[in-house]
Structure 1
Amino acid sequence: MHALINRPVYMEQLISFREKQIIKVVTGIRRCGKSTLFDLYCEYLRKDGVGDDQIIRINLEDPDYFDIQDYMQLYNLVKDRLISDKMNYIFIDEVQTVPNFQKAVDGLFIKPNCDVYITGSNAYMLSGELATLLSGRYVEIKMLPLSFKEYISALEDDTDLQMKYQRYIQNGSFPYILQLSRRRDINAYLEGIYTSIVLKDIVARHRISDAGMLDSVIRFMFDNIGNLCSATNIANTMTSKGRKISAPTVENYLSALVDSFVLYKAGRYDVKGKQHLATGSKYYLSDIGLRYYLLGSKRADLGHILENVVYLELLRRGYEIYIGKVGSAEVDFIAIGDEGEEYYQVAYTVNDADGKTLARELAPLESIKDHNPKHLITMDFVPLTSHNGIKQINALEWLLH
């Protein structure tokens, strides 16, 4: 049994909602650690005096539960194990596999002494009927694969961070990857995740008939992380390369990839006009290892990969994130948090002899006239530097603190 990797950000959220009259819904891409989070949390509950008979765990991807075909079976299975005079902690993994599961969840939620926790690998579970039936009764905890800080915490030492960062992006950030050392084992594991997401969460759920075309769109998106994209320009580009596809089909595929937490979509925001823009979005990938698995390392754009890593880290830290338009220039990220807006520009390096790269990266930030914090994040190892109030920070230091 391998030691569980601590996931403090998510644990704190679960603990803060413990026994609150609300359903805890943990969502995220397959294999990002949702079940293991429940293991950690159950361990915490036991240390706090909760008995094993009070903890009900059901993983609907476990063959033991494959015969559960409808919500009443699920409801009765849990109901029969409830203890009347104690708090019951109910954990149901991959709940979306049971049709109308929301009726079972709601039925358990309204019973006395029931604290309900569920997971799902598809945003679809929080749309439509579920949202209506459970409206105002659930809180979503959005889970991602390991952050760089969590990844480092699971290793035996924290030396040579640059090499570890290379492994982190190349091998991926799914927790189980840390138990594998051979390249072919890592690739086989990533292939399994990729295939199950594509076949179970996308092709089957969205009734997609041309899986080959879907694969082409995925490869295109993985190759264009951090580039402005629209369904129309993706369709035009692919059609010009001999893969004829319509913009509405691309739109469907993109929304399926976002629903399965493979891609995250960042819209654009006009900093000066203070308004959301309808055109152009960027897409970021929930795990860079999937990109290396699918495309290999030859086409790796380290700048866009770093931008992707920073985007995910801002998501983990609870920000709402947009691409910033400043006149004709662009700021990589506007991050809106509890204390207002912050601006982030990301570049792999700004160390060139004539200073032109640094000037180019600073220009969009300098053109913003408000006094919100501004950051330039690079892989350059320089002491913390300020350029007229714009803080230049080393990416690895920023990720670890």
Structure 2
Amino acid sequence: MSIIRSAYLEKIIPFIDKPLVKVITGIRRCGKSVMMEQIQEYLLNHGIESECILSLNFESFLDERVKSLETVSNVVKEIAVNSSGKKIYLFFDEIQELDGWEKLINSYLIDFNCDIYITGSNAKLLSSELSTYLAGRYIEIKMYPFSFAESFEALKILYENISQKEAFDIYVKTGGYPFLYNFKFNEGQKKQYLDDIFNSIILKDICYRYKIRDVALFKVLITFFIANIGTPFSSSSLIKYLKNERQSLSTETVYNYLEYCKEACLLYLVPRQNLKGNEILSTQEKIYLTDHGIRESLFMKNQKDINQILENIVYIELLRRGYFVTVGKTKNQEIDFYVQNEKGIEYYQVCYLLASEETVQREFGAYNSVNDNYPKYVLSLDDFDFSQNGIIHKNIIKWLLEG
């Protein structure tokens, strides 16, 4: 089963046949390869001949064509000759595995009548090299695991008459990795799959690439980050925690490790923004996880820590919608998300349930010192509408499905 990732396809279609390299980045196994297949299917359905399409996966151990720059060049030359002068369409999956790939792509833009699509699981590697060799000649499309809307579509195929609430309960524990929505996996099978993804990101995308020797200590650090998503990050508290574990790291190393996780599209370090002076603050950032299913596989308690999970889900959804997101800070209060988009500014507070008057006052009161007229939201799992004083309350499930 393959759900059409229409939101991403619609971003890519306007750039088909334009002289720009289409770069699809995202965490390992989020669906980039399937996205490439869906683009190829779109091309075939719109008159492009299969002989003009070349697709290579650079993680393959069996495909001799991806072993070196020379073997890749030979197969590209061959398809160019066989196309009889027609434009060729080149799809290169996980291209960062090929040393020297950036020069190769640059030369193809010059030497061939081609349209190029590449994917990669290391955003920094791709962006830095592309900026050097392809300045102004590429467009990046960031991919994420399934949104709740996408997972709900998949679950409706697997489970007849499943409700939105039932689907959301599954999403909270499963996360959004597309493969997990192909079959009716049990909890043990889901955990094994997510554990394997987590270990491959840690070992291949981070430790091997950045030559981290103490893998065990690195995993301790990352599990600490993942356990504490949505809470203000302090390097001093982390170093204290490591000392209690009889481990030690410098602040510089901690931030380097965080940067590696960001580059591997695993974690996000979200800064706070002073809403009065409109300045970015460099302390007490928050950490969020690209896919909350990984957290469930590590700790098996997403439902217990539902407030953190809901906040993480909303943050990733805001990124998925293309928004720039920071944590809002006023003099005495903090707003979960200060969002800038093409329409202007929006504010979001996220909580589990508005179960008491105290909770209502806390969540809605976060906006007391924000005096502008931009939309302000409180998101929770309540079905009853608590909107008041111009502040909009929405059910999280319904808000996610709006996207």
**TM-score, normalised via structure 1 length:** 0.95
Match of 1:289? 293
Contact in 2 for aligned 1:347/1:378 (Cα 8 Å) = yes
Corresponding residue SS for 1:73: helix
Q: Provide Cα deviations, 1:296-345, integer angstroms capped at 9, x if missing partner.
A: 22784101100000001100111000000011210000110011110000
Corresponding residue SS for 1:64: coil
Q: Provide Cα deviations, 1:79-126, integer angstroms capped at 9, x if missing partner.
A: 221224212111000000001110111111223421100000112322
Match of 2:22? 24
Corresponding residue SS for 1:16: helix
Contact in 2 for aligned 1:75/1:105 (Cα 8 Å) = no
Give the AA of the match of 1:184.
G
Change (3 A) 1:175 1:299: closer
Contact in 2 for aligned 1:152/1:158 (Cα 8 Å) = no
* Residues in 2 aligned to 1:389 and 1:227: alpha-carbon distance in whole angstroms: 28
Give the AA of the match of 1:393.
K
Runs of 4 or more, structure 1, over 4 Å off, are: none
Contact in 2 for aligned 1:69/1:99 (Cα 8 Å) = no
Match of 1:61? 59
Match of 2:243? 239
* Residues in 2 aligned to 1:173 and 1:135: alpha-carbon distance in whole angstroms: 33
Contact in 2 for aligned 1:231/1:248 (Cα 8 Å) = no
Q: Provide Cα deviations, 1:130-166, integer angstroms capped at 9, x if missing partner.
A: 3211121111100000000011111225632222112
Match of 1:308? 312
Give the AA of the match of 2:388.
H
Give the AA of the match of 2:340.
I
Match of 2:167? 164
* Residues in 2 aligned to 1:160 and 1:80: alpha-carbon distance in whole angstroms: 52
Report how far residue 42 of structure 1 moved.
1.1
Match of 1:363? 365
Figure out how many residues of one structure are paired with residues of the other and give that number.
396
> Which of 318, 339, 346 matches 1:342?
346
Match of 2:227? 223
Corresponding residue SS for 1:365: coil
* Residues in 1 aligned to 2:375 and 2:114: alpha-carbon distance in whole angstroms: 44
Contact in 1 for aligned 2:11/2:141 (Cα 8 Å) = yes
Match of 1:42? 40
Corresponding residue SS for 2:79: coil
Give the AA of the match of 2:335.
V
Contact in 2 for aligned 1:86/1:113 (Cα 8 Å) = yes
Match of 2:395? 394
Matched, 1:213 2:214: no
Contact in 2 for aligned 1:60/1:93 (Cα 8 Å) = yes
* Residues in 1 aligned to 2:121 and 2:190: alpha-carbon distance in whole angstroms: 21
Give the AA of the match of 1:378.
S
Q: Provide Cα deviations, 1:266-325, integer angstroms capped at 9, x if missing partner.
A: 111111111111222111111111001111227841011000000011001110000000
> 1:79-98 alignment to 2 at 5 Å?
79-82=77-80, 83-98=83-98
> 1:185-224 alignment to 2 at 5 Å?
185-224=189-228
Structure 2: which 5+ residue stretches go unaligned?
Answer: none
Change (3 A) 1:298 1:290: closer
Structure 1: which 5+ residue stretches go unaligned?
Answer: none
Corresponding residue SS for 1:80: helix
